[in-house]
Amino acid sequence: MNTLDHFENIVLWKKAIRLSELTYKISEDSYEVPLRSIGDRLRSTALSIVSQIAEGNTSHNPKDQDRCHKIAYSDTIKFFNLLIIGEKLDFWNIDYLNQMKTIIKEISAELAPLNSAPPLHSPKEEKAVAPSNYFAHSTAVIDENCTIGEGTKIWHFSHVMPNCILGEKCNIGQNVVISPEVVLGNNVKVQNNVSIYTGVICEDDVFLGPSMVFTNVINPRSAVNRRGQYAKTIVKKGASIGANATIVCGNNIGEFAFIGAGAVVTKYVPAYALVVGNPAKQIGWMSEYGHRLKFDEKGEAICPESNEKYLLKDNQVKKL
C-alpha cells in the first residue's frame, strides 16, 4: 500500500474530510459579508486539520508526527471557538452545526492523548467548579473554558489564559502568567512572577518558586511563527523548582526532584535528584520532606524529619 492509499483509509482523516466538507455547506445559503470573514477562517482551519492529520500519519519521523498532531489539536480548539462565535451570532445552519460539533469533539478526543491535553467540551458541558468555590482577586484575569478546582486562590494581576486546568487547593501568586492549555494538578503552589507556558503539565504538590520560568520553544525567532510546535514538559508529583530557575522545554522533572535557585535545567532530572547551577548538574538526592539524603555503604538513608527510609540502587532512589 502506498502512502496516499494509507492515509485515505485512516478513520480520523475521514472524519476531518467530512468536517471540511461541512464547512462549505454550513453557510452556502447565506454567505453575507458579516459571515465571510469567520466562514473563511473556519474553512482554512478545517483544511489545516485534515492536512496535518494526513502528514502526521504518513511520516516515519516521530518528531514530525508529534509536530503535526500538536498543530492539528491546536486547530481543533480554534475551529471549535469559531463555531461557538458563529452560533452566538446565529450564522450557522443548525443541522450542519450539530454535525460539526460532534465531529470536531471526536477528532479532538483522538488527538488529545497524543498531546496530553483535555478533549473539547461545549460551554454547557464544562465541568469547571462554580466561581464561588475558588477565589480570584478582582485584578486577576481568567479567560474562557478554564477549569478551576475548589479551594484554589488566584492573586493580584495574574492571568489564566483559555482552556487551562487548575486542580484543587492551588495557590497562584501575584503577576503569574499561565498560558493556554496548561495543566496544574492539586495543591500546586505558584509563587509571584512565574511564567508557565503552553506545553507544561505539573502534577500534584508541585512547588514553583518566585520568578522561575518555563520555555516552550527550543529555537525562538520573532519573525518565525512556531505556534503549534511547543514542546511538552512534565513536572512530576512533589517536585520543587527554586526561585529564578529556568526549565528548558522538553526536559521532564522527576517525582520529588529539587531544582536549586537560579538553576538552568537542560536535561531530564531523575526522581529525588538535587540539581543546581547553569547548566544544572546533580549534586545529591533529596527526601520527600526536602532534606538532603546521606546514604550509607548499603545504599540506605533516613530522612531526619519524617524518619522515612530510602534506597539508592543503580543510580536511582526509591522510598522503602
Domain ranges of the chain: 3-124
**HSE, side-chain direction, 13 A CA sphere, residue 128:** 22
Q: What is the pLDDT of residue 156?
A: 93
- Long-range contacts for 112-117 (Cβ within 8 Å, ≥24 apart)? 112/73, 114/66, 114/69, 114/73, 115/69, 115/70, 115/73, 115/232, 116/183, 116/201, 116/232, 116/234, 117/73, 117/181, 117/183
Whether residue 148 contacts residue 128, with contact meaning beta carbons closer than 8 Å, is answered with yes
What secondary structure letter does DSSP report for 129?
Answer: P
pLDDT digits (tens, 9 = 90+) for 210-225: 999 999 898 889 898 8
Q: What is the pLDDT of residue 120?
A: 54
Sheet holding 309-313, edge to edge: 300-302, 309-313, 316-319
- Who has greater pLDDT, 105 or 64? 105
3-124 fold: de novo design (two linked rop proteins) (1.20.1440)
Q: What is the pLDDT of residue 2?
A: 44
Q: What is the pLDDT of residue 1?
A: 40
d(CA 301, CA 31): 72
Q: What is the pLDDT of residue 49?
A: 87
Q: What is the pLDDT of residue 35?
A: 54
pLDDT digits (tens, 9 = 90+) for 292-311: 999 999 999 999 999 999 99
**HSE, side-chain direction, 13 A CA sphere, residue 104:** 31
Per-residue confidence band for 60, with pLDDT thresholds at 50, 70 and 90: confident
Q: What is the pLDDT of residue 196?
A: 95
Per-residue confidence band for 3, with pLDDT thresholds at 50, 70 and 90: very low
Which of 125-129, 146-150, 161-165, 241-245 bottoms out in mean pLDDT, i.e. has the lowest?
Answer: 125-129
Per-residue confidence band for 315, with pLDDT thresholds at 50, 70 and 90: very high
Q: What is the pLDDT of residue 278?
A: 94
State the cell numbers at 231: 514542546
Q: What is the pLDDT of residue 118?
A: 56
Per-residue confidence band for 127, with pLDDT thresholds at 50, 70 and 90: very low
**Of all residues in the chain, what percent carry a pLDDT higher than 90?**
50
Per-residue confidence band for 36, with pLDDT thresholds at 50, 70 and 90: low
pLDDT digits (tens, 9 = 90+) for 240-286: 999 999 999 999 999 999 999 999 999 999 999 999 999 999 999 99
Angle between helices 94-115 and 11-25 (to 10 degrees): 150
d(CA 167, CA 95): 36
Average pLDDT over every residue of 181-199:
94
What secondary structure letter does DSSP report for 124?
Answer: G
Q: What is the pLDDT of residue 119?
A: 55
Sheet holding 207-208, edge to edge: 135-136, 153-154, 171-172, 189-190, 207-208, 240-241, 258-259, 273-276, 281-285
- Who has greater pLDDT, 123 or 205? 205
Per-residue confidence band for 114, with pLDDT thresholds at 50, 70 and 90: low
Average pLDDT over every residue of 150-164:
93
